[in-house]
Each structure stands twice: as C-alpha cells, then as structure tokens.
Amino acid sequence: MSTPDLLYSEAEDDLRAAVRSLLTDRCPPATVLSEAESGRAHDVALWGALGTEMGTAGLLVPDKLGGQGATAREAAVVMEELGRAVAPVPYLTSAVLAAGALLGCDTGQEPVARLLGALAEGRTVGTLAVPLSTMAGVSGPPAATVRADGDGTLSGQVSSVAGAAGADVLLVPATGADGYGLYAVETAETSVTVEPLTSLDLTRPLAAVTLTGAPARRLAGPDRAAAAIERALLTGAGLLASEQLGVAEWCLTETVRHTKERHQFGRPVGSFQALKHRMAALWLELVSARATARYAADALATDSPDTPVAVAVAQAHCAEVAVRAAEECVQLHGGIGMTWEHPAHLYLKRAKSDEIALGTPGRHRQALAGLVDLAAPTG
Amino acid sequence: MSTTGQHPAVDADELRRRVRDLLDAHPPATTAPLDFLRARFDAGLAWVHYPAGLGGLDAPRSLQAVVDAELAAAGAPDNDPRRIGIGLGMAAPTILGFGTDEQRQRLLRPLWTGEEVWCQLFSEPGAGSDLAALATRAVRDGDDWVVDGQKVWTSSAHIARWAILIARTDPDQPKHRGISYFICDMTDPGVEVRPLRQITGEAEFNEVFLTGVRIPDSRRLGEIGEGWRVAQTTLMNERVAIGGGRVPREGGVIGLVADTWRERPELRTHDLHQRLLRLWMESEAARLAGERLRQQLAVGQPGPEGSAMKLAFARLNQHISALEVELLGEEGLGYDDWTLRRPELVDFTGREAGYRYLRAKGNSIEGGTSEVLLNIIAERVLGLPPEPRTDKDVPWKDLPR
C-alpha cells in the first residue's frame, strides 16, 4: 500500500475558500432555516451559484465528459464546507450519487454521456433512487423494488429517497426480463409521483417515489449496473464522512464561541474546567475524524484497493463524532440550544440523519469485520 | 381554624374510613368531577400531610398512597396532576411554607382541584443555571411593586392563572440578597405570553414579557430581599418531583425500544444488540435506584439520590432514544410532524422516535443542567471544595454579564 496523502493541497484550500465564501454570503443559518420551512426541495439559486457557476457539480466528472476532471479529494472538501453550512443543495445526491452511478456505466454510450454532462453542468439535477439508508457492499447491490417491463417502462416504489423532490431525473435500479439494470426516468412524466416525506433532517428532505408504467431508458444492464450502484454508494459513504466532519467542526466552533461569551456565575461558562475539557476532547475526536475522512477521500481518488476499509472506518468514526459534536453543541448552549431559532438543531438533525445515511456505524463496523478478518463470534 | 398539628395522629384505617364517607356523600358516578375534587379537598384527603383546612389532615405523607389507591379503586376522578404539576409540586409547598393565612386560603384549593393552573416565572435569557443572576426588576410604588423584565422556558404560561415569580428588588445587594418572591396574576395588564418554539417543532414552553406589571405587596411571599431563600423551597420540591414515581420494569422509554426489538427481527444487528442490553440493564438499575429512593422517602429522609436520579434519567432517555432512531434505520430518517403545536403536556411516549430523541436533549438542561447537578453532588455530597467564586460579595449591578 502506498502512503496516502492526508493533507489538503493548495488547490483544495483554494476550492474550500471559494466554497466557504459563497456559503457565508448566501447560506447563513437563518437562510437555511427559512429555506427548510419554505417546503422547497433545495435552494435553487444557491445550487446554481455553487453547482453550475462554481462548477462543483462536475468535480467528479472527467473533462472530456463535460466535468471538471477532479477527484474525490476535491469533492470531499466541498462536502466538508456543505456540512459546515448544513447547506440545502443536492450535492451528495446529484453530483456524488447520481454522477457516481453514471460513471460506473458505459460512458461511451450517448445517453449515459449526455446525462452525465447535464449533471456535471448542474443545470440538470438527478438522484439515485434508493432509500438514503442503503449501504454499499456486504450483501451485494440493493434489491430493486422496481420492475422493468418489456415495453420499456418501470413500475414500483422506492421509499425515503434523498434529493428526489427537486430532481429532474431519477436513476432507478430495476429488475426485468433482462435482469438487474439501472434506468433513467424523467420526473416530469405523469407516471412518476414524488411525494415529499416529513424528514428528521430538515435540510435534506426525503421523498417516496412511485412509478406506474414510467417511460425509462436503460443505462446499464446486468453486467455493469450492480457494480455502478455499489461504487456510487461506496463513494457516497466515503464522502459523507467529510460532510460529517464539517458538521462536527461547525458545532465545536460555535460551542467554543458561545461558551466564551455566555456568562454565568460571574464568568464565561467556557472557563469552567468541566466544560473546557469536553470541548478539548471533542477537538481530539475531530483530529482523528479528519484523518479518517481524508484517508477515505484519498483512497477513492486513487482507486486504492484499501478503499472499502477506508470508507468503513471513516463512516463508522465520523458519523459518531458528528452526532456527539452536535449533541454537545445543544447541551453546552443550554436552553438556547433547544430553541427553533438557534441553528444547533439543524446540525443535530443532519448529524443524526447522516448517521443512518448510507449505512449506520454499526453496519460499517460489521462490514469492517469481514474486510480485516475479525469475524464475529459464532453461536 | 387550626392549620398545624392540632389533629390527633391519623392512621391508615382512619383514612380509609374517611374515604368511604367521602364516597358515600359524593358518589363519583353521579357527582361532577370538580365537585368531587372540591369535596375531597374539604375532607382533608387531597394531600393528607397538609394541615387540616388546607386539604390535609396533618397525617404522615406516606399515607397518601392509601387514599390514592382507595379512590382509584372506586373510580373517583383525579385532579390531573401532570397538567397542574407546577402548582402541586412547586407553588403549593412554597405557599404553605411562606404564605400568609389569607394567601393559603385563597390559593391552595383551586390550585389542587386544577381550577387554577400555575406557572413558574424564574428562568431568564441571561439567568439559567445561574438563576440568582436574574435581571427582572420589581420597584416599590406605594402598596404595589412594578415589575419589568423577561422570563423564558415557562411551561403552562399560556394556560396559567397564577405564577410564582422572583424578581430583583435591590440591585445594590449581592445577587442572592437582592431578590424577592411574588405571586403574579397572569391576567394582569403588562403580562405578555409568547410561544417559544423548540427543537422538536412544537412550542411546549413560552417566553413571558413583563412590562409595568403591578403586583400588590400583599402578594409577596416571604420578606423583601429573602426571595432566594423562598425559591430554594420551590426548587428543592422541583427536584424531588422529578423522577419520583414508581415505575414497572421496562416502564420508561426502554420499553418502547424493547418492544420494537421483539417485534422487528429484521432490524437487529450485533452492535445494536449489545448496546440495547446494556441500556436495558442500566434502565433496570435506575428503576431500582428510584424505587429505593422512594422507600427512603417513605421512612423519612430524602437522600441526595434525587439529583442522581435526574441525571440518570436524562442520560438514559438520551442514549435510549438515540439508539431507537438508529435501530429504526430508514424509518428513523423520518419525523412525524414539524407543525408548530402548543401541547399542554409533554407527550413523550405518544409520539415517534425522532421526537423522543430531540425532546430528550432537553432532559439534561431543564430543571438544572446535568453540569450544575454534578457540581452539586461533588460539593454537597462528596464535600469537595467549590469552584473559586468571584461573584459572591459583589453587588449585582457590578457583575459581568
């Protein structure tokens, strides 16, 4: 195994600065909350600026297919910043999961290349139509709940799909006479119903998708579809660790700021050792979370054979760090952390939802057991 | 009329006889619930350890259980103790301890029957854990006090008739010494109640803005400047009230998760199994500790375990509800309802896992943060030296805020 690069390159720092500057201007917490309450699936204007104008939608897509030709390392930096802002944009669902699935198909085929190019521009929004809780690996690709009929249409339901509301196109795993395949379906079709669900995470809403004879285009058949979906889910899980890192970072930063300012008993509450040590301990957890998230991003970027281990470690670790940081953020803010006006709850809800997304920490540890030969006890 | 200790000792048999008399004179089946509750109060069977004439019989507190069991068996109406918990648990013992005869006569009966709901105007945006730092001012004007300030986290303010209120009457004194304790009429001009929406989406609490509210001096409890001492009675009773009741095995949130585990084998993983078992045992341990505390109280002395119970329940509620959301997986990604609602009671078990997870976050903040309670245990139980204090003898007006 070659030594992974766990640092940030200068180009990655520049990318971060640009994304952060945009999000600071256009995506402050009050805007996130009002956007979440608006019932809109995502912030369209913000996604235009971030995905299209800044080009982040196409980071993972090669130049020749209309993208930026960057790697998971750069995408991970974007995810960190999006986590730090709990930004309501379809980056994970469209630029990572949907684009990732298409990259696993035969990009020499015109429909695949065309759709990939459209997603890379950010003007077309897509998502992979699987429940957000779906995890890569372990027992093969997610079983399709949708049926492909001989007439080129799809029928069936998919529950809890992130990014479906607000998507123009759905990438749907389905099984038909030809076996397992990945299909593209336009949400504008009348035979497609996308019903928004009430989601724990206000900033990444879920929807139930129902297809009743929806016209579909097959993008990959049994030879490629499963691997393409697996790879997309693995990439998604690996990059989600960076989002979790960003969530945790905001929580710690805000908690430190608050406890320096909030006076009780005639002194800033941050001066109490009982609180001080907890924030210091959280910082330590962030140090290791950053290392695991960086390793997952680097492994994905270099197509390392250790990628499944890197992703399992990063997900199991960062998910728990993010939840702990968000919970500490609420607690150490005291009463104000329990209010709707204060953004702490948006981070707690994102962190808890992210803990389930693309595999819980427990399931990633279980996957790790198989990968590193630490079998569970039998009997 | 006697108010203390004039009656001969009342034992369990005597109480059962009095309950039978009450039921004969006011059969629950044919008596309006409020009439029954008033009659029960007048018979001294409301809170038997209270003085005669004030709903009690000067009986040992432990005998209340005898009365409650007899009345429940007879299908008698109850006074909805959860809805009026602040009145019962906090206002009543304070009024009993510090009120004038006139105040006790006027206030305790409708408090106990639930005709008048109470709320507690203590916490402020700048005075949470450090309650004595409060900034709401009460300025003397003739026979009245004029009150200005803002209170927060007020349960039941939107349905309350009365409030117990602490306010600063002397900013030149150190913070604990310049506070007085009042009874505030929530219907008075200048009292404005606004919903305070919280992390769960609902507005279970309120913010209360007090602007030029006139409170007659006759509604002060305790001496001027002695409000902190009076408030200690209220707060001590608050902590006793939390985590007091008897619960069966799996009686708390652990029961909900245990049932899900039993009914949904497809959700099980090795990781969750070990965590669930650990939390189940911790819940059982906490339940037994609660039962032990209850037995201790029954024989006389409340131990410091009250604070420990609150800490344990907060931690367990949080860990169990966190595990529940994770156990549910895809379902845990959903939420039942974000609509702004104004419940009169917290319905912890009637809602879904996501609500429990979010609401439980408040358990370690409300009624004394876990951090403050741990300090209390360290200092008062273990006798460890306190943190250095810089605010003790400084006039309130000179404290950094």
As its CATH architecture, domain B118-229 has Beta Barrel (2.40)
What domain count does chain A have?
A: 3
> What is the average pLDDT across A336-360?
97
Q: Is B355 on the interface with A (CB under 8 A)?
A: no
In this structure, of A255-264, B188-197, B235-244, the range with the lowest mean pLDDT score is B235-244
Please state, in angstroms and rounded to a whole number, the distance separating the CA atoms of residues A61 and A39: 30
User: Residue B126 is encoded by which pair of tokens?
Assistant: 């700048």
Inside any domain, residue A333: yes
What residues are paired with A154 via a beta bridge?
A: A148, A214
Q: What is the CATH number of the domain that holds A177?
A: 2.40.110.10
Distances (CA, A) of B53 to A200, B33, B47, B63, B168: 52, 20, 11, 18, 34
CATH of B231-382, one of 1.20.140.10, 3.50.50.60, 1.10.260.40, 3.30.420.480: 1.20.140.10
pTM of the full structure: 0.93
Domain spans of chain B?
Answer: 12-78, 118-229, 231-382
Identify whether residues A145 and A115 lie together within a single domain.
no
In tens, the pLDDT along B80-100 reads 998 999 999 999 999 999 999
Chains A, B: CB pairs < 8 Å: 137
If you average pLDDT over residues B229-249, what whole number do you get? 74
Q: Which residue of B has its CA nearest to A160?
A: B330
Share of chain A above pLDDT 90, in %: 94
Quote the minimal CA–CA distance from B53 to chain A in Å: 40
Which three-class secondary structure state does DSSP give residue B214? strand
Domain presence at residue A379: no
Residues A119 and A143 in one domain: no
pLDDT band at A281 (very low <50, low <70, confident <90, very high): very high
DSSP-derived secondary structure for B246-295: ---TT-SHHHHHHHHHHH-GGG--HHHHHHHHHHHHHHHHHHHHHHHHHH
Task: Tell me how crowded residue A227 is: count the other CB atoms within 10 A of its CB.
Answer: 13
Tokens of B351: 């809602």
Taking the C-alpha atoms of residue A154 and residue A180, their distance in angstroms, rounded to an integer, is: 12
> Which is nearest to A329 in space by CA: A246, A244, A245, A256?
A256
Residue A64, domain member (yes or no): yes
Structure tokens belonging to residue B357: 């997870």
Q: Does some domain include residue A5?
A: no
Mean pLDDT on A139-158: 89
Same domain, A211 and A235: no
- The residue out of A67, A97, A125 marking a domain boundary is A125
- Contact between chains at B330 and A275 (C-beta distance less than 8 A): no
For residue A328, pLDDT beyond 70: yes
Selected residues 218-277 of chain B with any CB under 8 Å from a CB in chain A: 269-272
pLDDT of B303 > 70? The answer is no
Domain endpoint, select from A125, A140, A157: A125
Record: contact A331-B370, CB cut-off 8 A: yes
* B373 in contact with A, Cβ within 8 Å: no
Q: How far is CA A353 from the centre of its chain?
A: 11
Burial of B72 (0-12, 13-18, 19+ CB in 10 A): exposed
Q: How far apart are CA A67 and CA A50, in angstroms?
A: 14
User: CB–CB of B201/A200 below 8 Å?
Assistant: no
Q: What domain range is A28 assigned to?
A: 10-125
CA distance A312 to B166: 54
The stretches of A27-169 forming alpha helices (DSSP H) are 29-38, 44-47, 72-84, 99-103, 110-121
Question: Using 50, 70 and 90 to split pLDDT, how confident is the model at B239?
Answer: low
Identify whether residues A256 and A365 lie together within a single domain: yes
Residues of B assigned a catalytic role = 238
Test B197 with A340 for CB contact under 8 angstroms: yes
Q: Which amino acid is at A202?
A: L
Q: What residues in A contact B315, CB-CB < 8 Å?
A: none
Domain assignment present for A353: yes
Residue A246 structure tokens: 């960003």
In chain A, which among 97-136 make CB contacts under 8 A with chain B? 131-133
Strand partners, B375: none
- Provide mean pLDDT across the span A198-208: 97
Residues of B whose CB is below 8 A from A362: 269-272, 326
Q: Which residue of B has its CA nearest to A162?
A: B333
- A234: domain CATH number is 1.20.140.10
Same-domain check for residues A363 and A231: yes
Q: Does pLDDT of A371 surpass 70?
A: yes
**A205 in the same domain as A321:** no
Which residues in chain B have Cβ-Cβ distances shorter than 8 Å to A158? none
Q: pLDDT tens across A20-44, in order?
A: 999 999 999 999 999 999 989 999 9
Alpha-carbon dihedral sign for residues A286, A287, A288, A293: positive
In a domain, A3, yes or no: no
How far does CA A44 lie from the centroid of its chain? 18
ipTM of the complex in this document: 0.92
Report the range of poorest mean pLDDT among B214-223, B231-240, B320-329. B231-240
Q: How confident is the model at residue A140 (pLDDT cuts 50, 70, 90)?
A: low
Q: What is the pLDDT of residue A236?
A: 98
Mutate to test the interface with A, among B333, B339, B358, B377 (most CBs of A within 10 A): B333
> CB-based contact (8 Å) between B123 and chain A?
yes
Q: Is residue A378 part of a domain?
A: no
A166 and A70 assigned to the same domain: no
- Number of Cβ within 10 Å of residue A30's Cβ equals 10
Q: Which of A106, A125, A144 is the last residue of a domain?
A: A125
Which of B199, B270, B370 to mutate against chain A (most A CBs within 10 Å)?
A: B199
- Cα B276 to the center of its chain, rounded Å: 30
Average pLDDT over residues A90-103: 98
A247 and A143 within one domain: no
Q: Which residues of B touch A355 (CB under 8 A)?
A: 326
Instruction: Tell me: do A112 and A181 sit in the same domain.
Output: no
Backbone phi and psi for residue B373, each to the nearest 5 degrees, phi listed first: -65, -40
- A31 & A105 share domain: yes
Task: Kindly state whether A320 is in contact with chain B, defined as any CB-CB distance less than 8 angstroms.
Answer: no
Tell me the nearest-neighbour CA distance from B293 into chain A, angstroms. Answer: 27
What is the pLDDT of chain B when averaged over all its residues?
Answer: 92
The DSSP line for A197-249 is --BSSTTS-EEEEEEEEEE-EEEE-TTTHHHHHHHHHHHHHHHHHHHHHHHHH
What is the pLDDT at residue A311?
98
Could you tell me if residue A191 is inside a domain? yes
The minimal CB distance from A335 to the residues B153, B354, B400 is found for: B153
